[in-house]
Chain A
Amino acid sequence: SAVISQKPSRDICQRGTSLTIQCQVDSQVTMMFWYRQQPGQSLTLIATANQGSEATYESGFVIDKFPISRPNLTFSTLTVSNMSPEDSSIYLCSVGLTGGSGYTFGSGTRLTVV
């Protein structure tokens, strides 16, 4: 199954700044998914990133706030822009496993905005 390296693992950022999170997969995948997990909450899908096209954002998430890049089939970045304390969450990337056997997740980025 695919292995995802996600970084940074955690960061503390100032209000109004931006943070870019990176995910590197050890195999080529068509789609990568970005999730947010607010403290004590479940996971919410932010967007789906396809290589060579614009990311597809879920309701409540916009490209200006969460720009995504997908330059090739093994890499993606998510930027959290103009951060506020409400953006403090864990952000996770995910890819589907072959044969529809589920999804694997990166180790997560724990973001704290102060």
Chain B
Amino acid sequence: ELKVEQNPLFLSMQEGKNYTIYCNYSTTSDRLYWYRQDPGKSLESLFVLLSNGAVKQEGRLMASLDTKARLSTLHITAAVHDLSATYFCAVSLTGNQFYFGTGTSLTVIP
């Protein structure tokens, strides 16, 4: 069974600081997704990483994928309060099976 682990589970960071969320998975996959979930809301797609070495950036968020290490990172640059949310990575083994990470609850404080 594929296991997807994120760390940290909880992250409290000050505005303006940088930090990285890590996503490790246990089985070979070349398709990794990052999602954001605001409290009481559904999931919003952030990034899709489809190959080893893929890097994508949107605003203050940058995601990367190392398929050999089975590791993806979500880097936050100069955090702002609006980034407070829960972030999930998810790995797809086939087109159908989609496994979510444990989630990282991010709080950005002034």
Binding site for B on A (CB under 8 A): 31, 33, 41-45, 48, 92, 94, 96-97, 100-108, 110
Contacts and interface: CB of A to CB of B under 8 A. Distances in A.
Contact of B42 (A31, A44, A100, A107): A107
Contacts, number: 44
B97 A103 contact: no
9 contacts: A31-B96, A33-B96, A41-B103, A45-B97, A48-B96, A92-B42, A101-B48, A102-B33, A105-B43
Given A100-B50, A103-B33, A45 B41 contact: no
Q: Looking at chain B, what size class is its interface with the partner chain?
A: 20 to 34
Nearest to A101: B48
A42 B103 contact: yes
B45 A104 contact: yes
A42 B42 contact: no
